[in-house]
Every structure is written in C-alpha cells, then in structure tokens.
Amino acid sequence: MEKIRVETSAIAGQKPGTSGLRKKTKVFMQPHYLENFVQAIWNGIGGAEGKTFVVGGDGRYFNDRAIQVILRMAAAGGASKVIVGQDGLLSTPAASNLIRKRKTDGGIILSASHNPGGLDEDFGIKFNMPNGGPAPEDVTNRMFEATKAIASYDILEAQDVDLSKIGTTSLGEMDVEVVDPVADYAALMEKLFDFGAIRELFARGFTLRFDAMHAVTGPYAKAILEGTLGASPGSVLNGVPSPDFGGGHPDPNPIWAKPLVDLVMGPDAPDFAAASDGDGDRNMILGKGVYVTPSDSLAVLAANAHLVPGYAKGLAGVARSMPTSGAVDRVAQARGLSCYETPTGWKFFGNLLDDGRITLCGEESAGTGSDHVREKDGLWAVLLWLNILAASGKSVAELLGAHWQEFGRNFYTRHDYEAVESAKANAMMDGIRGSLDTLVGQTFPAGGVTMADEFAYDDPVDGSRSAGQGLRVQFDSGARVVFRLSGTGTEGATIRVYLEAFENDPVKINADPSEALADVIETAEAISNLKAITGRTGPDVTT
Ligand code: VG1
Ligand code: CO
C-alpha cells in the first residue's frame, strides 16, 4: 500500500452552505471533486495526523464509493483510526452520538438530507466537530479557503475496505472499526426515555405508523419501535434504505409524505404517525386527524418534556431558529425559561448546548433536538412524543388542543419557490432589503409593521457575529413574515417565505390555517412583489 500525492487544482464553488457542501451527485463524481474537499477538511482542522474520526452516511447513491475515498485519504493523512457504520450507514444523530461517546476528533457525514438521491440527484458531505455538532462558520470558512488554495491531496493506493463485517481491520497504518450503526444510539434512547411506559402503551393496543421513507432510519426504527418497544410488525413503513430512496424525496412533510398524512386523516388512522428524512435528523409528527407543525411540536415538547425521565429535572432553556414560529417562546415565557433565537442551521445551537444554556431546540423545517447529541434527531423526537403520550394518557389532538388553549396558537406555514433564477431571487431580496427602513409604521392586511430588519446573530457564548440571516417583518397583530434564500439547494435559488399569525381567542384558535394566514400571505406578496419579479404564480412546496 503506497501513499501517493496527487496534483490537483482549485475547483470553484466548494463553499459549505447551511449544512455542509451539497451538489449534484455527478458534480461530486467529477475527478478530484470529492478528494479536493476532503483534503480541504483536513487542512481546515489542522490535519488528520494521529486523529480518530467517525464516518458514515445515509446510504444514498455514491455513499459507498465516497467512504472508500475518505478512508484512503484519512489513512494517507496519518489518522490513527476511523469508526464506520456497517455498510457505511449512520444516521446523522447516530453519527453525532458516536463522535461524542467515543471522544473522537470529529466525523464526516455523507448526506444531502431530505434532497433526493441517485446519479441524477443530490449528494453532500459535512464535517462535525468533536462535540458531535456541525462545524461552525469559522471552521467551514477555513475549509472553503483551503479549497481555493489546494494544489495536491494525499491518498493511499489500496483495495476497498470490507465494511459489511463488524470488527476492526487496518488500512495501511490506520485502524478501521466497523460498528453496528444502531446499537449505541438505541442505548442512548433507552437512557433518556421510559421504555417500560411506551411498551405498555403498545401492549394496550396503541397503534403507530413510522414512515422511514426508504432512508436511513429504517433499521433504527425497526430495532427500537418494533423490536424493543413492541409496536406491531409492519408499524415501520419503507424501512429498507435504498440508494435513491425508492425514487422519492425523503422529506417528511405533508407534500412528500402525503400517503402518511392521508392515512391519519382517513378512517384507518393510527393513534400516532411520524416520518423522518434521508439522514434521520428530521421528523414529522401526526395524530389521528391532526398534523402537528414542527414549530408547534417544539413548543408542545418544551411544555411537556418534564414528564420524561431524561428531562425530569426541567429544561435549562430553549432555542429556535429565527424563522421558526414563536410558539416555543410563549412556553418559555410562561415557565420562566430563557429562550434564544438563532440563525437557520443546527450549527448555531452547538454553543448554547455545550454551554448548558439550553436543553431543547428546534427549527420550523421539521428539526427538533436536545442536549443528548449535537444534531437534530428525528427518532428521538418520535420517542419523546410517545413517552409524553404514554405519561399524560392524552391523544395527540388533545395535547395540541390543550396547548393552544393555554398558550395561544401560532398559525404557521412556509412557502418554497424552488430553482428560481438566482438573479431574480437576489433582485427580490434586494428590493425588500431596500424597503425595510420605510416599512415600519405602514399598515398591511396582516397589521401595522412594528419591526423590519435583516437578522444578524451575536453568539452569546463565543461572541461571533453571523449577519445576513434573513429578512423579517413583524406586525402589531403578532403576525410575522420572513424571507430567506435556502443554503441547501443544488439548483438556482430556493426562496423561502415563512408566514405566521398569532391567535389567542379560544374560538378562533381552531380556525383553518389557510384562512387564518390569508392576510399574512397577501401581505408577504405586497412587500416582496415575488410573483412579478420571479414570474411564479404560486409556491412549489407548501409546508
Ligand atoms: C434547510 C432548513 C434548515 C435546516 C437545513 C439542514 O436549510 O431550512 O432549517 O437546518 O435545511 O437540514 P435551508 O438553508 O435550505 O433553508 V437537513 O435535514 O437538510 O441536514
Ligand atoms: Co436531514
């Protein structure tokens, strides 16, 4: 086995976005593309020499090939050990857990999350820090700088490592330990939750459907939900990971997981249903006849987590990404908890979690998590819901109804306009940005504008500042509109319009969300001129 140095040159556009570097799979498969970025990761973290890493991915097309390249480059870089999930599989939260539990120097996660997979679809790679969380901006900036300066990379010439068998082998001087991707994660879940109570719930005939969407959570959900907890066989749907996710979008929302939503709205609805995404960090929560918005889910979990052993001591505080609704803020206010508002992307929660300032956090994009790992965690959210349902004896609809009665309701929806020409999307954002100063005091159907700005975040722990994190307009009615460009897309620009209205009249809280939000939607158009500028007549995806 020989270590070789391959000459290369910088490839443009290798800038990590909201969650790592995401590109079309064919782009990643171009000569040197992956290798350049992996070398830039090593360069960005001060080299791989003597270090131990975790590597795994969501099993999408090219996952297996990419892992072999990373292993050979880790060996060439002098890493002492790489821990890999069997067959190269690790859900994002399971990878985060392994990085922490084994006290490693970080890890590489291969995924484009909820984006479709396959030769013509998307691939992604990101680096997580020794705390188990996504690399913060200063580190990803160093990696990006390294991609621009690269002239060569080091790689071992070697055969593929067999990742199908659990155990330790070597690659050159480096150990490769293949681990069961589920075991450590399942053990962590068992520590946090009252598995006995959830088991009893199922023993009493409680029904569940979990849609793994042909993605990485299948083996985890089968082992934990059907295996350990006794949900009836067949409760886990689409539980075998496939490289192209069965040809679908592994995105747990009412559009891409429509069959599950239809099921809970129909006569054969189970008591509880949920879905997760490509890499297992997102979740969608459903009950008989109800869809729980991710923002509401975060708020309900924050209000009830103390019913669960792992959180019985109470919460240190909570956090939400800026576009997430203010539902959790109301819980925090009522319970005297500190509440932080961060930019979009899980990396911004890391410092707050490490510093013990928060216990729970979440995003409107179907992400919820806690201090148990440093990633959002889909199956964890499902188990937290199940444990709360078991402990409270209430149904999902009852819990949600009672929550709105107590705290009021933040009606919420997000409109996505995908693959918009970048120039048009930027023109729209520039237009809004230019009008921010004059918006305050103006009146729209959603109410009078009380605040309009471009969100910037000052991290209270390390003092770093992240500017340009979305345009927000707040109204005196409690309504809010936020405009942002996505940082995970691979084609043109994706415009996200986040729409929120607040209601605490006990009768009106049961209104149809589309009616409750009609004025806010109209207002967003008036402020942005989105239709005129982009030529679009309506959103591609509404969640
Ligand atoms: C989206 C979501 C964001 C999430 C990110 C990664 O980012 O909005 O909340 O953290 O995806 O999630 P953007 O920049 O496209 O809005 V995942 O499950 O794709 O790793
Ligand atoms: Co994901």
Q: d(Cα 97, Cα 525) in Å, to the nearest integer?
A: 43
The pTM for the full model equals 0.94
Which residues are paired to 471 by β-bridges? 454, 483
Sequence letter at residue 227: G
409-542: CATH topology: TATA-Binding Protein (3.30.310)
Under 8 Å between Cβ of 332 and 317: yes
Q: What are the backbone dihedrals phi and psi of residue 409, each rounded to the nearest 5 degrees, phi first? A: -120, 130
Question: Which of these, 76, 74, 69, lies nearest to 2 by C-alpha position?
Answer: 76
Q: What are the backbone dihedrals phi and psi of residue 401, each rounded to the nearest 5 degrees, phi first? A: -60, -45
pLDDT of 130 reads 97
Kindly give the pairing relationship between strand 317-321 and strand 338-342. parallel
Q: State yes or no: is 276 an active-site residue.
A: no
Q: Where are the alpha helices (DSSP H) in 213-349?
A: 217-221, 258-265, 294-304, 327-335
Interior CA angle at 424 toward 418 and 426, to 5°? Answer: 95
Kindly give the pairing relationship between strand 122-128 and strand 107-110. antiparallel
Q: d(Cα 134, Cα 124) in Å, to the nearest integer?
A: 13
Kindly give the pairing relationship between strand 367-370 and strand 81-89. unpaired
Which residues are paired to 444 by β-bridges? 447
Given 19, 91, 113, 486, the catalytic residue = 113
CATH code of the domain occupying 185-407: 3.40.120.10
CATH 3.30.310.50 in the chain is located at 409-542
Query: pLDDT tens, position by position, for the chain (543 residues)?
Result: 799 999 999 999 999 988 899 999 999 999 999 999 999 999 999 999 999 999 999 999 999 999 999 999 999 999 999 999 999 999 999 999 999 999 999 999 999 999 999 999 999 999 999 999 999 989 999 999 999 999 999 999 999 999 999 999 999 999 999 999 999 999 999 999 999 999 999 999 999 999 999 999 999 999 999 999 999 999 999 999 999 999 989 999 988 999 999 999 999 999 999 999 999 999 999 999 999 999 999 999 999 999 999 999 999 999 999 999 999 999 999 999 999 999 999 999 999 999 999 999 999 999 999 999 999 999 999 999 999 999 999 999 999 999 999 999 999 999 999 999 999 999 999 999 999 999 999 999 999 999 999 999 999 999 999 999 999 999 999 999 999 999 887 778 999 999 999 999 988 999 999 999 999 999 999 999 999 999 999 999 899
pLDDT of 228 reads 97
pLDDT of 95 reads 98
CATH 3.40.120.10 in the chain is located at 2-180, 185-407
CATH code of the domain occupying 2-180: 3.40.120.10
Per the document, the length of the chain is 543
Ligand 1 residue neighbourhood (C-beta within 6 Å):
18-19, 113-114, 277, 281-282, 321, 344-346, 363, 365, 367, 486-488, 496
Which residues are paired to 174 by β-bridges? 171
Under 8 Å between Cβ of 210 and 273: yes
Closest residue to atom 18 of ligand 1, CA basis: 113
Number of other residues whose CB lies within 10 A of the CB of residue 334: 11
Structure tokens at 105: 């120097």
pLDDT of 281 reads 97
Closest residue to atom 8 of ligand 1, CA basis: 365
